[in-house]
Amino acid sequence: MKPLNQKPISVTDLRVVCDNMLVALSKKLRLHGIDSVHLEQYENQGNCITLATDPESKRMILTKSPAHFIQLKKSVPPGHCLHIVSQVVEEQVEEVLRYFNVTVSEDDYFSRCTVCNGSKYLTMNAEEARALKVAMTPSETVSYGVDDDDDDEYGHNPYDIGAVSGPPSQQRSSVWKQYPGGSVYTTSGCIRETGVVLQLSAVADGIFEKINEFFCCVRCGKVFWQGSHWDKVKKK
């Protein structure tokens, strides 16, 4: 298929909306730094048009369905809707990059969060990340999934991670700590800008021994690092 753009464009020049059959592609495009949103399973395909014609974002439509392609392309400027043919996500990415003539640079990879499409990261080193994880951990030992006794009305609330318990001597002070990209409330792990909690509990302690730089998505709190998966993507 003839590319829409004669001259190559950069990753930041493309914004897309994927139909709900292309969720994996949407996430993969984010991995390449492309601003991508997708419809949820329950959403009507027509919502693609709403997102594509929003003057704020002006997204190109990507659809897997030939029938939807015929319908959707009537509502957008010529060429602004692409019918994705391949079943393989890596090939689908190639279809998009070829059609829109996108050049992906080294710096574009991981410039967007694959989970939420956010593009702002807060960075911290291993020592800071480990200290924050410890500060965020409730001071009393909490067993999850071990005690199934439903009668335990006085059990700890695992979601109340900001709570400080125990005698005053064990209480830790909470402060806003500044990192490149944003600040975090030390005991709750709450990011000041968005109010979301950093997902440091999902990072195994052993990772802090191997990795020194952590990238935390300001929008959703997901924590990333340059691990094997990251390197694999960059080599492509």
What residues numbered 94-123 form the site for Zn ion, per CB under 5 A? 113, 115-116, 118
Compare residues 49 and 217 and give the one whose CB is closer to Zn ion.
217
Residue 202 CB contacts under 8 Å (≥ 6 apart), including other chains: 223
- The sheet carrying 60-63 orders its strands as 35-38, 15-18, 60-63, 81-83
Cα gap 65→24, rounded to integer Å: 15
Per-residue binding string, Zn ion, 147-186, x by CB under 5 A, is: ----------------------------------------
For the bound state, the minimum distance from the C-beta of residue 185 to Zn ion, rounded and expressed in Å, comes to: 18
Cα gap 115→220, rounded to integer Å: 8
Q: Report how many residues bind Zn ion under the rule CB under 5 A.
A: 8
Per-residue binding string, Zn ion, 118-147, x by CB under 5 A, is: x-----------------------------
For the bound state, the minimum distance from the C-beta of residue 33 to Zn ion, rounded and expressed in Å, comes to: 14
Residue 60 is given by DSSP the state: E
Q: Judged by CB under 5 A, does residue 191 bind Zn ion?
A: no
For the bound state, the minimum distance from the C-beta of residue 182 to Zn ion, rounded and expressed in Å, comes to: 13
Provide the angle, in degrees to the nearest 10, between the axes of the packed helices 23-31 and 89-100. Answer: 60
Compare residues 40 and 151 and give the one whose CB is closer to Zn ion.
40
Q: Judged by CB under 5 A, does residue 217 bind Zn ion?
A: yes
Compare residues 100 and 110 and give the one whose CB is closer to Zn ion.
110
How many CB atoms are located within 10 Å of the residue 27 CB? 18
Q: Judged by CB under 5 A, does residue 220 bind Zn ion?
A: yes
Cα gap 40→20, rounded to integer Å: 6
Distances, alpha carbon 119 to alpha carbons 15, 94, 150, in Å: 13, 22, 42
Options 10-18, 101-109, 190-198, 221-229: segment touching Zn ion (CB under 5 A): 221-229
Binding site for Zn ion (CB under 5 A): 113, 115-116, 118, 217, 219-220, 222
